[in-house]
């Protein structure tokens, strides 16, 4: 899959939860396109402003402001940020700098015509969380009714395949 030419909306960091000597993290990976979430996004963006455009670049759904404008999540586009936050865990979304920066080979559409069928036909992708266990070094000891117990673990590096 080619890399998108637009910056990611949010830098998704890996969240780690320690469970005894085992940790897990959630990684966002590509998933089938979610037309319900896409329609929710488009309806929300339409309620904010009809001046945005939509582009699909390497599977990423990109919100584009009018030419010569930029998106300001701390100011005029705060509501747009809320729309994106509602779907960013299930859709691969980003924002662009302005419509003049969209390459000619990237499918672009106005909000009026950017329906789910168009987005899916142009390769829009969804996201899903994948929980990945990660063994870590550690040792745990304790007591139970049956006596003392201990558990230890060490990090196993994946075998090259």
Domains of the chain: 23-133 (3.30.460)
- How high is the pLDDT of residue 142? 47
Give CA separation, 5 vs 2, 23, 130, in Å.
9, 33, 25
Q: Distance (Å, rounded) from C-alpha 135 to C-alpha 133?
A: 7
- How high is the pLDDT of residue 135? 52
pLDDT tens figures, 72-120: 888 888 999 999 999 988 999 988 876 566 777 788 888 899 999 999 9
Residue 34 pLDDT > 80: yes
For the four alpha carbons of 94, 97, 98 and 103, in that order, the dihedral sign comes to negative
Most confident of 19-23, 36-40, 58-62, 78-82: 36-40
Model's pTM, two decimal places? 0.66
pLDDT tens figures, 108-160: 888 899 999 999 999 999 988 877 776 554 444 444 455 554 444 444 455 55
Residue 14 pLDDT > 70: no
């Amino acid at each position: 899959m080619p890399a998108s030419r637009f910056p990611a909306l949010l830098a998704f960091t890996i969240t780690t939860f320690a469970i005894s000597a085992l940790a897990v993290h959630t990684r966002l990976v590509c998933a089938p396109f979610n037309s319900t979430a896409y329609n929710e996004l488009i309806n929300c963006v339409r309620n904010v402003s009809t001046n945005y455009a939509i582009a699909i670049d390497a599977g990423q759904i990109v919100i584009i402001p009018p030419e010569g404008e930029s998106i300001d999540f701390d100011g005029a586009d705060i509501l747009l940020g809320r729309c994106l936050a509602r779907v960013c865990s299930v859709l691969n979304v980003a924002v662009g700098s302005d419509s003049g920066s969209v390459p000619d080979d990237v499918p672009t559409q106005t909000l009026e015509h950017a329906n789910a069928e168009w987005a899916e036909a142009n390769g829009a992708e969804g996201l899903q969380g994948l929980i990945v266990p990660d063994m870590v070094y550690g040792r745990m000891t304790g007591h139970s009714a049956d006596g003392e117990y201990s558990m230890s673990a060490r990090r196993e590096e994946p075998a090259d395949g």
